[in-house]
Chains A and B, each alone.
Chain A
């Protein structure tokens, strides 16, 4: 599927490699405060910090969208007939560069004359909300399944591993659009289903990593030690394993967020995202396909928004991985 890279980046971690890296990981973790080392490293990484800064900025934009919109935009779905020429069917908007002006900071949408700035900042809400919820879901399922498979091993491990193979073998986009399109296209329905689908299909990436890490951790001395003083499975998992899994989980969660953002945008682009009039970057782009010859700005603006967001998460995720994984920092 064209959303490919995730497949690649995670399939890289063949079990042998994972185990090798955990050994080094583990020593550091035990020795000193991982957080502090990581933070020292991260501070030196200007690129990652820029990424992080953009992410914080975007999250603030999404949260304060109503305020920002009041200051710089127009009511989100308000039509502005005076900004377009109805005789031409409203394409392109009146003015140059897609109708960009001091009043309409990013121009207007053809046909309706809606303020693109307002669409973009509310679109950030949609995009981040869905991507973060889906990631949260994926991480939760991934941790539970990964730890269970890795900790208990045996037939449970085989069963869960095959299950993860099964999910990864699904032609995902196709399955998603087919499934979503047969369900009612109302807002909450769609948001829920999209989150469930993205989360429900991306957890094996986390699950595999957690499983691999757990496999190697459970044989380690500190687990043995805990067991020998009579700690139960429950305690071992929560007190010994989870804290040690925090770092890889954090890194890979950060790295699947951008994929999830792209996925949500792709679904909207294919017409099965959140229903209009809820603003969505992917839908803006798919709408822009009709007009891009005459109004390229209308395509460039949402496209750039998606690009910057995804890039920021990728930069930050990369930096975080480097900071938490000493090996890659050689």
Chain B
């Protein structure tokens, strides 16, 4: 087992390093290919070529890309210093770069926004997991019934609705017409738990709808497959009550793949629910990245991308481990 975990750790780290190289390369090379000098983005409109060159030098943009990448990785592990006029700015490890637009290291910026994204995705995840699985189970048990059909139609509609449409509709009805929710700026849970939930509720529900639909369909298919397995028939034949059969025996095998996917989806969503955060104007990682893209704040864009990738890789890693615990055969492969 330890051997297996170690192997997965190594793979994950290698994956992250490759992602960082690709992302770094893309963000620092592509503007050059398109004929813009990244340094020009930081200088004023009337800056002279000498100013541009000076800025490039200060940001290290004049060095070959592999040197820049090396410095970036070194900063990630050990922190780094940025030349800042009369004194140096220290960017402590993990230094994801320094945002010259915000005059702050990227890492604290990310940490600032993280609670919002966690509040949004974890809240939504609870709803989509419970709602989706419940709907799927009911649907499977009542297969062919009107209820089943309704659940499946809603589920298919849910998968087909873009969140930037449902989100707007929800706001139109519940915020502007019915005034059930206040809209308004995000508040911290610690400051005002009710305001926090009020602001997040519509986001939770719309984001959850998107995923719950998938989970319902998945649970239903898995459940239908499971209940026809021999061991379930045996359980039934033993005279166990239906609730025990479904709740104890069938659910176990239904939940295994669901948990896997849940881990991956949650990992991806934590990396920044960009669309949800834009529609509901939540100041999370997703909105930070949009702002950064709009202001061409490359270090922040790079930081957010790596951060998001980290969540996905981490989720993959955890899912693998959980899987290995459940099913020992995986460890051998």
Residues of A within 8 A of B (CB): 1-5, 7-9, 11-12, 14, 162, 165-166, 168-171, 173-175, 177-179, 181-184, 258, 262, 265-266, 269-270, 282, 285-286, 288-289, 292-293, 296, 299-300, 303, 306-307, 310-311, 314-315, 318, 328, 330
What is the CB-to-nearest-CB distance from B274 to chain A, in angstroms, rounded to a whole number? 5
CB-CB under 8 A from B26, the residues of chain A are 175, 179
Residues of B within 8 A of A2 (CB): 163, 207, 210, 269, 273-276
* B257 CB contacts on chain A under 8 angstroms: 12, 14
Contact A266 B275 (CB under 8 A): yes
B142 at the interface (CB under 8 A from A): no
Q: Do B162 and A265 have beta carbons less than 8 Å apart?
A: yes
How many contacts between A and B, using CB within 8 angstroms? 172
- The answer to whether A5 touches B274, judged by C-beta atoms less than 8 angstroms apart, is no
The contact string, 1 if C-beta is below 8 Å from chain A, for chain B 158-173, is 0111111100110110
Kindly report which residue of chain A lies nearest to residue B18, judged by CB atoms: A166
* B275 contacts A7, C-beta separation under 8 Å: no
Q: Output the nearest chain A residue to B132 by Cβ-Cβ distance.
A: A8
Set of chain B residues within 8 Å of A169, measured between Cβ atoms = 15, 19, 309, 312-313, 316
A4-B214, A178-B27, A293-B172 given as contacts; is B275 within 8 A of A307 (CB)?
no
Note all chain B residues with C-beta closer than 8 A to A14: 257
Alpha-carbon gap, A175 to B160, bound state (A): 23
Interface residue? B223 (CB, 8 A): no
Q: B31–A182 contact, CB under 8 A?
A: yes
B318-330 interface mask toward A, CB cutoff 8 Å, 1 = contact, 0 = none?
0000000000000
With A and B bound together, what is the CA distance between A9 and B305 in angstroms? 24
Q: For the complex, is B261 an interface residue (Cβ under 8 Å from A)? A: yes
Q: Roughly how many angstroms separate A179 CA and B172 CA in the complex, as a whole number?
A: 32
Question: Across the interface, which residues of A come within 8 angstroms of B164, CB to CB?
Answer: 265-266, 269, 282, 285-286
Tell me the complex Cα distance, A3–B169, Å.
18
Interface size on B, residues (CB 8 A): 64
CA distance A207 to B264 in the complex (A): 19
DSSP class of B's interface residues: helix, strand, loop or mixed?
Answer: helix
Q: Check if A318 sits within 8 Å of B156, measured CB to CB.
A: yes
Given A181-B293, A183-B34, A262-B162, A8:B309 Cβ within 8 A = no
23 contacts between A and B (CB under 8 A): A1-B271, A1-B273, A2-B274, A5-B211, A11-B261, A169-B309, A171-B268, A173-B272, A175-B305, A179-B27, A181-B296, A182-B27, A182-B30, A266-B164, A269-B275, A270-B274, A270-B275, A282-B164, A285-B168, A292-B172, A303-B169, A306-B162, A310-B161
Q: Which residue of A lies closest to B207 (CB)?
A: A2
Whether the Cβ atoms of B156 and A314 lie closer than 8 Å is yes
- Closest A residue to B261 using CB positions: A8
A4 touches B296 (CB 8 A): no
The 4 closest A-B pairs by CB, nearest first: A171-B308, A303-B165, A311-B160, A310-B160
Given known pairs A4-B211, A5-B159, A314-B160, the reply for A174 and B274 (CB within 8 Å) is: yes
B265 touches A8 (CB 8 A): yes
**Assembly CA distance A293 to B174 (angstroms):** 12
Minimum CB–CB distance from A100 to chain B (whole Å) comes to 18
Whether B301 sits at the interface, judged by CB under 8 Å, is yes
Write out the residue numbers on chain A whose beta carbons fall within 8 Å of the beta carbon of B210.
2, 4-5
| B23 contacts A by Cβ under 8 Å | yes
Since A178-B293, A182-B36, A289-B279 are in contact, a sample of 12 more A-B pairs with Cβ atoms closer than 8 Å, ordered by chain A residue number, is A1-B269, A1-B272, A4-B268, A12-B218, A166-B15, A166-B18, A169-B309, A169-B316, A174-B304, A293-B176, A306-B165, A314-B156
Q: A306 CA to B169 CA in the complex, in Å?
A: 14
Q: Could you tell me which residues of chain B, from 13 to 38, have a CB within 8 Å of some CB in chain A?
A: 15, 18-19, 23, 26-27, 30-31, 34, 36
Q: Considering only CB atoms, which chain B residue lies closest to A312 in the complex?
A: B160
